[in-house]
Structure 1
Amino acid sequence: MTLRRAEIAVGDQLPPLEVPVTREDLVRYAGASGDFNPIHWNERFATEVGLPGVIAHGMFTMALAGRLVSEWTGDPADVLRFSVRFTRPVVVADDGVGATVELGGKVAAINEDGTAKITITARSAGQGVLGGANALVRLAESHPAESHSEV
């Protein structure tokens, strides 16, 4: 289900996405990514290096923002460009609850080349965790009404 250009407008909001993040998620991501830095699983180490606690991998947080956009487009291949700046870590408590990442987005521009710029917000514990997050997505052209002719 690719988005059609005629179906969206500048200012349209993407459906919000709230994602719970637990320590178990961090362990799984570490295994998939190969990033076993102890700041992502060892509370003592994380606080010794000045962090408020164990933090989610930045690329994990970025992937959640990418999920917001790709779920909206309906096809991950329609996400042409995607970038973020990491502004704050997502601190994941070892309390059985963890953290929640709240994601939102809106259509910032619709371009003549059939693409749209999407701005993305990501928050955890009431604070922004990504800055300058945006994506460029491909839009499908609207199909003209089919003509019916007798053969």
Structure 2
Amino acid sequence: MVSVGDEIPAREFPIRRADLVRYAGASGDFNPIHWNERFAKGVGLPDVIAHGMFTMATAIRVVTDWVGDPGAVVEYGVRFTRPVVVSDADGATLQVGGVVREVRDDGLVAVDITATVDGQTVLAKSRALVRVGAAA
């Protein structure tokens, strides 16, 4: 039984530049700010940054792992608040957690998701609406 206030197990996701290159190939987004440090710094960024959609997709994994089915996500939205800087030496670590905000009569569950890097929020208003089976 899922209840308002239930916490979804938090996870940490390491992000390395190789992940960004693979994502660029899958998505077709080869913008050099996502893989070329010299270019990224040349346009005023602190370093290479992760694709926003990569960050968003990584964050929802806490919910899909919790419900056990990526197809259970009915709605998902975020507001991007700051880029995820991925250094060559250390990469970055995305910390993600969630809490049940609402359990609806139609069987859907609203989840608020937190996503941070080094204590800084990278996704705000991150919310998902999911179908939760008996497993959650």
Question: TM class, shorter-chain normalised?
Answer: over 0.9
Aligned length: 135
Cα-Cα RMSD: 1.3
**Could you say which residue in structure 1 is the equivalent of 2:37?**
43
Larger strand fraction of residues: 2
The Cα shift of 1:44 comes to 1.3
Q: Which amino acid aligns with 1:127?
A: Q
Match of 1:85 among 79, 82, 86: 79
The Cα shift of 1:32 comes to 0.9
State the percentage of identical aligned residues.
Answer: 60
- C-alpha distance in 2 between matches for 1:65 and 1:98: 16
- C-alpha distance in 1 between matches for 2:95 and 2:133: 28
Question: What does the per-residue CA deviation read over 1:101-133, in whole Å, with 9 as the maximum and x for residues that have no partner?
Answer: 000000001111111100000001220000100
Question: What does the per-residue CA deviation read over 1:53-72, in whole Å, with 9 as the maximum and x for residues that have no partner?
Answer: 10000000000112111111
**Could you say which residue in structure 1 is the equivalent of 2:113?**
120
Query: What SS does the corresponding residue of 2:14 show, helix, strand or coil?
Result: strand
TM-score (norm 1): 0.86
Runs of 4+ residues over 3 Å off in structure 1: none
State how 1:58-137 maps to structure 2 within 5 Å. Answer: 58-95=52-89, 97-137=90-130
- C-alpha distance in 2 between matches for 1:122 and 1:139: 21
Contact preservation (8 Å) 2:67, 2:133 = no
The Cα shift of 1:49 comes to 1.2
Query: What SS does the corresponding residue of 1:65 show, helix, strand or coil?
Result: helix
Does residue 32 in structure 1 map to residue 32 in structure 2? no
Unaligned runs of 5+ in 2: none
Name the larger-Rg structure. 1
- C-alpha distance in 2 between matches for 1:43 and 1:102: 23
Query: What SS does the corresponding residue of 2:20 show, helix, strand or coil?
Result: helix
The Cα shift of 1:77 comes to 1.3
Unaligned runs of 5+ in 1: 1-6, 142-151
Q: Which amino acid aligns with 2:122?
A: V
Does residue 11 in structure 1 map to residue 15 in structure 2? no
- C-alpha distance in 2 between matches for 1:65 and 1:21: 12
The Cα shift of 1:51 comes to 1.1
